[in-house]
Structure 1
């Protein structure tokens, strides 16, 4: 059941947005001009503007030039990490749940020139090939209420990170050193732990699941995870030695269909329930012990329609954790892809024309706030619809004749 959109509802959203930007802008800016420019930019990003660069956003909001937005993103004095913290607090206040998950993934921005900070010929997840692009590791918070970005990093390729001229031209701070993408996710995880973000599992694709340092960080801090891992993940074999995860599947297949597990859904996608054949086995990862009281479980997911399409997940969870919850967590990973899609297509997440370090972080974080606002309004709409459905059910029961 969906809640009908009404004029009063849309007006209430407008009031909510004004209250949100006013509350955040108050302590963030010392002058009224950047406060207003900030509120205007958030509102413009949420509007139906074809190309969300500063000039078109300014034109939509009624500014004669883009100078106010350009000043806000570049020269104005304000703390973008304080805004990031406000975005996180807003998301957790409305979407936070004890069983929520953090999801790590990259998004990419394809560029034409070589002047933008972090741009290089590198793998682009958007096209699946090497492109001249920027790569942005992002962290999404997801629960049954909804999902939104809560943290972000810009990946600096090693060559650019070590080039003093490029760093100076892009305004990269001196303390920023080269970090791999998994290391950037570790940095963000540390920030979420310090902020008290409530989550049960970290979820990510194979690019992160294969990294032993990220897994070790979780083991050292007793953090649960359900990470996609490569077929060659080294496991301790039953008879000693080391074998790749793929050999486990080979042995199961040799047992016949009875050894392939059971058919379960891992959530709802755009085409309905996403159903796969799943197998779960206790495993020992070579050279990496779990946290005390935790175990490693290997999940094997096979496509129903194309059984040769197989994906492996490694779970690090407290002993005795039921497997269905791990399958649900494995299915949550796609939610960050939805954030990436909405952020780019609706909110101009990568439509910026900024080239330097500070403007990049400011634009992306303001876009994160716009996405968080949409996620919270959507969650409230769903809650209202569920409440209305419940009331309708109660009324129908009460109106049913006795006997």
Structure 2
């Protein structure tokens, strides 16, 4: 089953059990436990927020300039560990209206802008995987078990890392720095 990291309840439980703060993406149709001891779909919970709950946030610099969004968060979960909190966040693209959701856990005083900043670098990781698919065959596997898949992914990512380093060392800027 293909699921976003945030939908993996076992991953979230493990992270919280080890008191690891996290901001993980989840799908609009995921369910979360609310503070009133109920369950709600992520998109419906966010849709119920008043307009004033949304504020302008920055997810940091992107490939095409600053990534500005409208963001909101709502507390989730019934019981919180002392000094910790659980939230569902939503980020709305200001030009397309597209929504992205994250399930978050961390220090109780964490602000929405902090959660957005933490979630922001995700695009660089996704871009790395896209490049590894095209340049190192990351998506060219036909395996039948987990160990074979793991070996393929590990070798593909090692090959991609080597290509990136080799490209960096042969760039004109690097050559100029070495010769001066």
TM-score of the superposed pair, with normalisation by structure 2: 0.72
CA distance in 1, matches of 2:46, 2:147: 48
CA distance in 1, matches of 2:42, 2:151: 42
Select 1:306's aligned residue among 91, 96, 101: 96
Q: Does 1:320 align with 2:109?
A: yes
CA distance in 2, matches of 1:316, 1:267: 20
CA distance in 1, matches of 2:38, 2:144: 51
Structure 1 position 214, deviation (Å): 1.5
Q: Does 1:273 align with 2:71?
A: no
Secondary structure at the aligned position of 1:226 is classed as strand
C-alpha change, 1:359 and 1:316, in structure 2 (3 Å) is closer
Contact 1:226 1:316 survives alignment (8 Å):
yes
The residue number in structure 2 matching 1:364 is 153
Structure 1 position 242, deviation (Å): 4.0
The residue number in structure 1 matching 2:129 is 340
Which one has the largest radius of gyration? 1
C-alpha change, 1:251 and 1:273, in structure 2 (3 Å) is same
CA distance in 2, matches of 1:264, 1:375: 32
Where does the alignment leave 5 or more consecutive residues of structure 2 unmatched?
Answer: none
Deviations 1:221-265 (A, max 9, x none): 111111123345233255x6444343443333xx4x4x1422222
Where does the alignment leave 5 or more consecutive residues of structure 1 unmatched?
Answer: 1-179, 182-205, 389-403
Structure 1 position 209, deviation (Å): 1.1
The residue number in structure 1 matching 2:48 is 251
How many residues were matched structurally?
172
Contact 2:87 2:105 survives alignment (8 Å):
yes
Structure 1 position 341, deviation (Å): 1.3
TM-score of the superposed pair, with normalisation by structure 1: 0.36
CA distance in 1, matches of 2:146, 2:47: 48
CA distance in 2, matches of 1:359, 1:284: 38
Q: Does 1:261 align with 2:59?
A: no
Secondary structure at the aligned position of 2:77 is classed as coil
Structure 1 position 215, deviation (Å): 1.1
Deviations 1:6-63 (A, max 9, x none): xxxxxxxxxxxxxxxxxxxxxxxxxxxxxxxxxxxxxxxxxxxxxxxxxxxxxxxxxx
Q: Does 1:329 align with 2:118?
A: yes
CA distance in 2, matches of 1:331, 1:375: 22
C-alpha change, 1:247 and 1:346, in structure 2 (3 Å) is closer
Select 2:87's aligned residue among 297, 322, 345: 297
Contact 2:71 2:112 survives alignment (8 Å):
no
Deviations 1:297-316 (A, max 9, x none): 22121121233x22221111
Secondary structure at the aligned position of 1:346 is classed as helix
Q: Does 1:235 align with 2:49?
A: no
Contact 1:347 1:367 survives alignment (8 Å):
yes
Contact 2:58 2:113 survives alignment (8 Å):
no
CA distance in 2, matches of 1:355, 1:209: 26
* Dislocated runs of 4+, deviation >6 Å: 353-359, 377-381
Select 2:162's aligned residue among 326, 351, 373: 373
CA distance in 1, matches of 2:114, 2:167: 25
**Alpha carbon RMSD of aligned pairs, Å?**
3.5
CA distance in 2, matches of 1:233, 1:243: 5
CA distance in 2, matches of 1:244, 1:267: 28
